[in-house]
Amino acid sequence: MPDLPPSGPPANRLVVVLAYDGLCTFEFGCAVEVFGLPRPEFGAEWYRLAVAGLEPGPLHAGGGIRILAEGGTELLAEAGTIVIPGWRGLDAPVPEALCAALRAAHARGARLLSLCSGAFVLAAAGLLEGRRATTHWRYAAALTARHPGLRFVPDVLYVDEGSVLTAAGSAAALDLCLHLVRRDWGAGRANAVARRLVVPPHRQGGQAQYVERPVPPERAGGSLLAPLLDRMRGSLEEDWDLARMAGAAALSRRGLHRRFREATGLSPGAWLLTERLARARELLESTPAPIAAVAEVCGFGTPATLRHHFRAALGTSPVAYRARFRR
C-alpha cells in the first residue's frame, strides 16, 4: 500500500497527545519520544507537544505510573495533530464529549492519529466511516464487528488516509509516527530521529521494510566479523562472492554462514543485498546521481538489476522512490 507523498511541514505544529485513566504507556511514550523530545539539531523548525488529560489527574498508566497532564481536552481545539494511544479497554465506552471534540478538530483541519486500539476511539467518533483503517490483529474482529462501515486493512503496519492515520500493534506506533515525520519534514529528519531511537527509519505501511542499516543486537561472533563487514560496506561496488568473503574472514564457507547468522541474523548474501539497497536508498535520497551510476557504485552493475532488487525488496522502483523521498 503506497504511502502519501511528503506534504511539507504543517502550518500548525502543535501535537496534542491524549492521556486518560488506564493509559497505554508504551504508545503514549512513542508519541512523546518522536514529537516531544527536544531536537536542537533541527533549530526552531520542529513540533510542539502538549498532553491533554481526558479526566482530572493524576491519571493512572500501565506499569504503576501516574501522570499529571498540563491541560484538558480544551487543548484538542488548538492542535494541528492529535495522537490517541491505545484505548483503555475494548469494552470501555468512549465519552461522547471526546468524540465531539475529535470531530470538531478534524472538521477544522487537524490530523488524527490512532495507535493500536486507539482506532476504537476514532471509530466511535465516526471518523473511520468509509475510510481504510487498521489496528492490532487481536482487535480486528471486534473493530470490524462494531464498525462495519470502515474499510479494514489487515496485516499492515499502518494506514495513511491523509488527515486520519491508524497504526496496528504497539511497535507500529513508532512506524506511524516516523512516517508522519517523513511526510512533514522529509527523509533526512525522519532518518535522524530514527537513528536516535535506534530503529529502522522507514517501514512502509504495507510492511515493505525500508531498512536504512540493520542494527542487530550484539550477538556472538559479531566482533570477529566486524572488520569484514566494514570492508564490504566500504567497497560495495566490488564482487563479494562467498569465496572472497570466507577468505577475507579466514573462515570456511560453512563457518562464514554460521558467523553471519550469529552476528546479523542474515546469510552473507542477504546481508550484502540489504547493505547495497541501503546505500542505493541513501544516494537516491540525497544526490541527483543517474540511476546507472547508483546501480554501479552500489554493486548492482546495471539499472535493470537495481530495479529488480528494489522492486522485490521495497515494492517500488528507484525512480519512484527518489521522487517520493528526495531531500
**Contact call for residues 47 and 36 (beta carbons, < 8 A):** yes
Q: Tens digit of pLDDT for each residue in 135-187?
A: 998 899 999 999 999 999 887 789 999 999 999 987 889 989 999 998 898 87
- The H-or-E segment that residue 213 falls in is none
Cell numbers describing residue 67: 501522570
Signed CA dihedral, 235, 286, 164, 43: sign only: positive
pLDDT of 191: 82
Average pLDDT over residues 265-269: 85
pLDDT exceeds cutoff 70 at 28: yes
pLDDT of 220: 39
The whole-angstrom distance between residue 4's C-alpha and the CA centroid of its chain comes to: 14
pLDDT of 327: 60
Strands 111-114 and 81-84: parallel
Cell numbers describing residue 44: 526552531
Average pLDDT over residues 267-290: 89
Residue indicated by cell numbers 504503576: 64
Q: At residue 19, what are phi and psi to the nearest 5 degrees?
A: -125, 150
pLDDT exceeds cutoff 70 at 222: no
Dist. CA 154–CA 306, nearest whole Å:
30
Question: Pick the residue with more confidence: 275 or 125?
Answer: 125
Q: Give the CA distances from residue 171 to residues 87, 105, 116, 262, in Å, rounded to whole numbers and listed in that order.
A: 15, 26, 9, 24
pLDDT exceeds cutoff 60 at 325: yes
Name which of 49, 42, 37 is nearest 13 in CA terms. 49
pLDDT of 223: 56
Strands 202-203 and 209-210: antiparallel
Q: Tens digit of pLDDT for each residue in 70-127?
A: 899 999 999 999 999 999 988 899 999 999 999 999 999 999 999 999 999 999 999 9
What is the percentage of the chain residues whose pLDDT exceeds 90?
Answer: 58
Burial (CB count within 10 angstroms: exposed 0-12, middle 13-18, buried 19+), residue 234: exposed
Cell numbers describing residue 29: 511514550
pLDDT of 155: 74
pLDDT exceeds cutoff 80 at 216: no
pLDDT of 203: 59
**Contact call for residues 213 and 279 (beta carbons, < 8 A):** no
pLDDT of 79: 97
DSSP state letter for 158 = E
Arithmetic mean of pLDDT over the chain: 86
Dist. CA 163–CA 261, nearest whole Å:
42
What is the pTM (predicted TM-score) of this model?
0.66
Q: Tens digit of pLDDT for each residue in 41-54?
A: 888 889 999 999 99
